Amino acid sequence: MSKKIIVLALIVNIILLSSCSLLGGSRTDMLNKYNEDEKADARLEQIIESIKNKDKDSMKGTFSEQALKEAKDLDERIDYVFSLIEGDIKSWESIGGSIDETGDYGQKIIKSRFRYDVYTDQEQYLFSILEYTKNDKHPENVGVYSLKIINVKDEEPIFSDAGIYKP
């Protein structure tokens, strides 16, 4: 009887301590998700600081080289963002995100999509950020690919183009 209890306890410990979790994937996946969440939050903070300071160069610095090449009228669209945000940004909260990770012969690509509610003292905005945080094949793609900011009162657009969405 005691041997069965010991064997059962060992099996339970092996399952709990293994790198594969029955509840949420591997520990590595969970840590990567946590790191990507932190990266996305830090990127949002950087974008918010650019908006607060109306700093075009800082805003451009968040985008990947590839997005800068593909984006249409980026300077005009940055001005649009600066004029869109009414009031002082007071707070934000994450409303979800996803991470796509692909690998091809050791070449890893990580793409994250995160959405945030951003609150000013006058309005509420939805920020949607699509960013490549890793691309071993094409490092020029690392950075924000697209940034969409809308007032929550407006109809939600379709997000597909590089750069900054402007209706």
Splitting the chain (167 residues) into consecutive groups of 10 residues, what average pLDDT does each group show? Answer: 70 62 48 71 94 95 94 93 95 92 85 95 94 91 93 70 70
CA distances from 17 to 1, 3, 8, 56, 161 (A): 24, 21, 14, 49, 44
Q: Which of 69, 77, 63, 38 has its CA nearest to residue 145?
A: 63
User: Is residue 78 within 8 Å of residue 54, measured between CB atoms?
Assistant: no
Looking at residue 30, what is its pLDDT?
47
Cα–Cα distance for residue pair 145/70, rounded to 1 Å = 9
* Residue 152, pLDDT score: 86
pLDDT at 160: 60
Which residues are within 8 A (CB) of 161 and not within 5 positions of it... i.e. 6 or more apart? 70, 71, 72, 146
* pLDDT of amino acid 37: 83
- Give CA–CA dist 96/54, Å, rounded: 27
Taking Cα atoms as reference points, which of 109, 31, 17 lies closest to residue 66? 109
Q: 145 vs 112, 119, 158, CA distance in Å?
A: 10, 23, 15
Q: Which domains does the chain have, with CATH numbers?
A: 2-164 (3.10.450.50)
Res 140: pLDDT:
92
Nearest to 110 by CA among 137, 87, 128, 88: 137
Using DSSP's 3-state secondary structure scheme, residue 111 falls into: strand
pLDDT of residue 47: 96
Q: How far is CA 151 from the centre of its chain?
A: 19
How confident is the model at residue 6, as a pLDDT? Answer: 76
Phi and psi for 66 in degrees, rounded to 5?
Answer: -65, -45
